[in-house]
């Protein structure tokens, strides 16, 4: 009879385990979410990408490497993300114990003093000649819920997905910080270059003013020419404190990113000495899911949503719970540990099916299904954003290179124009306004050229980040 019961229980558990596989079916990551190729990129099936390159190898400037290294170690947001990973890991570890029976050790002692006029009191007095009853117990209680519908399994899957998702959040944060630090440094070098341009332009206008004054003394120009030249000089001089202000603010911003109080930042190179890289290796869009932390995080969110659907679905089905208790029990403390006479044990098992709260559980299941559909849409949206960012970065890299070429030619032309205008002005063949106009155009063009160089470097960094680089 005992063997028959054991076999029956095993068959029931086996059948319910098989049924549990069909309780909830997971939705896979949409395969059609990715395009075949990036816009503005040549058709390629090569999965190699600059996004796979470690940031210490992608950036060659020693100052940037030191700043990023400091940011990765000391940035407060990254440290918070690390703590969130630690919390998620604890939760995942805790979820592993879902299939382990709950065990509790108990020791109890109580006494009951019934009324002399009560049935219990009179019976106790007649039977035992005692006025109270003592009860002493010690033992272990066990409780275990059979995971016949995969509820505990899905809890572990969800906790593991949340743990991995917290890691991806940190990676995404690091890619942003790496990009921001490098872009901030390039911006600092641009401001240095523009400050130098402004100072040189002040000297250039000053020399022009000297010539105009000589012309004035000779009666060849009016005082208006001197005034306009002085005004242009003051306009260029005004840029100096403005740029110095922006330099200090940019240094402070880098200090915050690197987790330090505001201070100056070392620059051992100039903007003009940095070579703009030609990053031709970008890979294919589908490989973004393994490199872009935000895309990977969206994929893990879908897995977490699948697990939640499984949990809420399992709540609608009967739960099998087995409990057991065993230990020592006695009415007298002197016989408490009298073995085997004081030994006791109980085993119970039962199925519980939700009735009155079934509607509530069904609603929770429907909500979980809807949230899973949202997770699919969020994944698709994350892919759209990622592919768009890569395409935008490719366009910027291409068009900024073209803009730089035309701007360089314009600067060359203006340098020659200033030489010619000065020579013609000294010989009385050009007006002073032509000289001042050429100088103003040169100042603006050189400032724009420095900004274009900074934009090119930043666009390369943005392409690197958009492809998932910066967290390795």
Report whether the peptide linkage leading into residue 39 is cis, meaning its omega lies within 30 degrees of zero. no
pLDDT value at 42 more than 80 = no
Q: What is the pLDDT of residues 419-464, one digit of tens each?
A: 777 777 667 666 766 777 777 777 888 888 888 999 999 999 998 8
Instruction: Give start and end residues of each alpha helix (H) in 218-336.
Output: 223-257, 288-291, 293-314
- Residue 10 clears pLDDT 60, i.e. is over it: no
Q: What is the pTM of this model?
A: 0.76
Can you give the pLDDT at residue 46? 64
Per-residue pLDDT, 11: 46
> Any bridge partners for residue 134, and if so which?
111
The domains found in the chain, sorted by start residue, are: 23-100+151-316+357-466 (1.20.1600.10)
pLDDT beyond 90 at 259: no
How would you classify the pairing of strands 102-112 and 319-330? unpaired
Q: From CA 367, how far away is CA 315, in angstroms rounded? A: 14
Residue 12 has pLDDT above 50, yes or no: no
Contact of 164 with 300, CB cutoff 8 Å? yes
Q: What is the pLDDT, as a whole number, of residue 20?
A: 47
CB 147 within 8 A of CB 415: no
Average pLDDT for 240-260 = 91
Task: Tell which residue, 59, 58, 62, has the closest CA to residue 281.
Answer: 58
Q: How confident is the model at residue 4 (pLDDT cuts 50, 70, 90)?
A: very low
| DSSP H or E stretch at residue 13 | helix 2-20
| pLDDT higher at 22 or 396 | 396
- For residue 204, count CB atoms less than 10 angstroms from its CB and return exposed for 0-12, middle for 13-18, buried for 19 or more: middle
- pLDDT, tens digit, 9 for 90 and up, residues 317-363: 787 778 888 888 887 777 777 888 778 888 877 767 777 777 888 88
DSSP 3-state assignment of 57? helix
pLDDT of the residue at 105? 86
Six token digits for residue 112: 């009951």
* Interval 169-187 mean pLDDT: 89
- From residue 441, alpha-carbon distances to 41, 411, 421, 435 in Å are 36, 9, 13, 10
Residue 95's pLDDT is 67
**DSSP H helical segments within 75-118, as ranges?**
76-95
Indicate whether 87 pLDDT > 70: yes
Confidence of residue 297 (pLDDT cuts 50, 70, 90): confident
Query: Is residue 326 a contact partner of residue 345, using CB atoms and an 8 Å limit?
Result: yes
pLDDT at 127 over 70: no
């Amino acid at each position: 009879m005992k063997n028959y019961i054991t076999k029956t229980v095993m068959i029931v558990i086996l059948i319910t385990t098989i049924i549990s596989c069909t309780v909830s079916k997971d939705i896979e990551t949409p395969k059609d979410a990715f395009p075949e190729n990036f816009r503005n990129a040549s058709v390629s099936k090569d999965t190699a990408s600059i996004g796979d390159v470690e940031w210490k190898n992608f950036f060659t400037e020693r100052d940037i490497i030191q700043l990023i290294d400091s940011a990765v170690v000391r940035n407060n947001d990254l440290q918070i993300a690390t703590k969130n990973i630690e919390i998620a890991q604890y939760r995942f570890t805790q979820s592993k114990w879902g299939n382990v029976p709950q065990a509790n050790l108990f020791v109890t002692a109580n006494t009951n003093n019934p009324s002399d006029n009560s049935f219990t009191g009179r019976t106790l007095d007649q039977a035992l000649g005692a006025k109270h009853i003592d009860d002493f117990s010690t033992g272990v209680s066990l409780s275990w819920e059979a995971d016949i519908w995969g509820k505990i399994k899905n809890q572990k899957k969800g906790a593991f997905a949340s743990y991995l998702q917290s890691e991806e959040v940190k990676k995404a944060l690091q890619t942003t910080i790496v990009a921001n630090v490098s872009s901030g440094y390039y911006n600092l070098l641009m401001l240095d270059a523009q400050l130098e341009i402004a100072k040189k332009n002040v000297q250039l206008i000053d020399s022009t003013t000297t010539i105009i004054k000589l012309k004035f003394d000779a009666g060849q120009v009016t005082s208006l020419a001197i005034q306009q030249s002085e005004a242009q000089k003051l306009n260029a001089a005004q840029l100096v404190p403005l740029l110095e202000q922006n330099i200090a603010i940019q240094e402070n911003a880098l200090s915050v990113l690197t987790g330090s109080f505001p201070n100056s930042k070392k620059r051992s190179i100039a903007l003009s000495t940095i070579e703009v890289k030609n990053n031709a290796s970008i890979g294919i869009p589908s490989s973004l899911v393994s490199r872009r932390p935000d895309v990977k995080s969206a994929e893990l969110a879908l897995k977490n949503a699948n697990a939640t659907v499984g949990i809420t679905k399992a709540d609608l089905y009967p739960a099998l719970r087995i409990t057991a208790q065993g230990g020592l029990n006695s009415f007298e403390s002197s016989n408490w540990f009298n073995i085997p006479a004081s030994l006791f044990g109980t085993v119970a098992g039962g199925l519980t099916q939700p009735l009155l709260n079934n509607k509530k559980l069904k609603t929770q299941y429907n909500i979980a299904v809807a949230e899973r559909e949202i997770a699919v849409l969020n994944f698709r949206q994350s892919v759209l954003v990622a592919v768009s960012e890569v395409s935008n970065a490719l366009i910027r890299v291409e068009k900024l290179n073209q803009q730089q070429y035309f701007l360089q030619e314009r600067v060359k032309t203006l340098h020659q124009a200033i030489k010619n205008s000065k020579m013609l002005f000294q010989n009385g063949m050009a007006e002073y306004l032509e000289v001042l106009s050429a100088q103003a155009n040169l100042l603006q063009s050189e400032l724009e050229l420095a900004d274009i160089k900074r934009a090119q470097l930043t666009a390369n960094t943005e392409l690197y980040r958009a492809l998932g680089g910066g967290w390795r």
